[in-house]
């Protein structure tokens, strides 16, 4: 390991590396750390391979002092994260917010992209059984997936893959760290998970039955209201159309409209007569 270089002002190299990792909004790579440090100290000659030992030393110090965080490698870069031993408490804190950020449809689509990448939209649609265009656009906006190119096939459909932000979002360093399909199957076979799935299934059936019942009751109530309204009509109040004469049933014309039509007819008649007079003069 390279010695912990001390700058003129007394600042140590390990502290500079620590500050860069802490201040970076995204996981910062060893190459970027070396590039920044070289701009401030050209003669230092810090190599990328030397960064990792410094990180190990920093993590050792955190452990010795009983700190709750550590530096971890995520998506090819270094970032601060809480230690795994605090997961039981943090999962309670983060559980609700995590599901608010991504809908069930988004999680489903993202899983397909993660395990099938690179994958096209038609392939995602085929697996889900519905159009996934809107969900894919959402995932692109959240930078959880990215376009990796086009498939060499008719139509040249876009290919999608997960992004570096996806790795950061789920706290993994590479796609290889995703649980294997077989592991997921084992989890789903668990008795507790089976009971949970059955509970959700039963709940969905209950909600569907309640919705159908409400719709039926609404339609029935509407029909009953109409019947009741008809039953309450007094037969004496219903006019007998046979008692009315044709003249009484005829709608009155609008007097203004009638006057306008009369004026229009007179103008057309006058124009016609003038035209005939002109034609007679020409013949003479």
Q: Provide the pLDDT for residue 248.
A: 47
The residue that leads in pLDDT, 176 or 120, is 120
Kindly report, residue by residue over 27-73, the tens digit of the pLDDT: 999 999 999 988 877 667 788 888 999 999 999 999 999 999 999 99
Kindly report, residue by residue over 184-229, the tens digit of the pLDDT: 656 555 555 555 555 555 666 666 666 666 666 656 666 666 556 5
Kindly report, residue by residue over 145-194, the tens digit of the pLDDT: 999 999 888 888 999 999 988 888 777 888 888 877 666 656 555 555 55
Q: Provide the pLDDT for residue 89.
A: 83
List the structure tokens of 174: 């590479």
Average pLDDT, the chain: 75
Whether residue 11 has pLDDT greater than 90 = no
pTM of the model: 0.40
Whether residue 278 has pLDDT greater than 60 = no
Q: Break the chain into its structural domains and give their ranges.
A: 13-83, 102-178, 179-232
Q: Which fold has domain 102-178?
A: Arc Repressor Mutant, subunit A (1.10.10)
**Who's near 123: CB < 8 A, 6+ residues apart?**
116
249: pLDDT confidence band, cut at 50, 70 and 90? Answer: very low
Whether residue 108 has pLDDT greater than 50 = yes
Kindly report, residue by residue over 71-102, the tens digit of the pLDDT: 999 888 999 999 989 888 887 776 555 545 67
Q: Provide the pLDDT for residue 175.
A: 85
Q: Provide the pLDDT for residue 4.
A: 64
pLDDT, average across residues 259-268: 60
Q: Provide the pLDDT for residue 171.
A: 79
Q: Provide the pLDDT for residue 29.
A: 94
DSSP-derived pairing of the beta strands 119-120 and 158-162 = antiparallel
The residue that leads in pLDDT, 108 or 6, is 108
Q: Which fold has domain 13-83?
A: Arc Repressor Mutant, subunit A (1.10.10)
12: pLDDT confidence band, cut at 50, 70 and 90? Answer: confident
């Amino acid at each position: 390991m390279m010695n912990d270089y001390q700058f003129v002002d007394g600042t140590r190299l390990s502290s500079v590396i620590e500050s860069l990792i802490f201040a970076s909004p995204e996981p910062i790579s060893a190459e970027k750390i070396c590039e920044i440090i070289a701009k401030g100290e050209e003669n230092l000659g810090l190599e990328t391979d030397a960064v990792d030992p410094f990180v190990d030393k920093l993590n050792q110090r955190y452990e010795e002092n009983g700190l709750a965080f550590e530096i971890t490698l995520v998506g090819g870069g270094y970032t601060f994260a809480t230690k795994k031993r605090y997961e039981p408490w943090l999962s309670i804190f983060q559980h609700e917010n995590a599901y608010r950020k991504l809908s069930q449809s988004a999680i489903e689509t993202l899983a397909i992209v993660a395990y099938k990448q690179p994958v096209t939209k038609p392939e995602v649609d085929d697996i889900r059984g519905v159009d996934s265009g809107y969900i894919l656009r959402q995932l692109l906006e959240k930078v959880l997936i990215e376009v990796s190119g086009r498939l060499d096939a008719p139509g040249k459909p876009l290919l999608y893959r997960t992004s570096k932000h996806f790795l950061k979002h789920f706290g993994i360093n590479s796609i290889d760290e995703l649980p294997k399909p077989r592991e997921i199957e084992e989890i789903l076979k668990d008795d507790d998970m089976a009971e949970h799935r059955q509970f959700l299934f039963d709940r969905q059936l209950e909600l569907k039955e309640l919705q159908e019942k409400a719709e039926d009751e609404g339609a029935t109530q509407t029909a009953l209201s109409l019947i009741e309204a008809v039953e309450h009509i007094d037969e004496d109040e219903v006019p007998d159309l046979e008692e009315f004469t044709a003249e009484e049933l005829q709608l009155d014309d609008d007097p203004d409209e009638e006057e306008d039509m009369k004026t229009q007819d007179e103008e057309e008649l006058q124009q016609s007569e003038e035209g005939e007079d002109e034609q007679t003069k020409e013949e003479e």
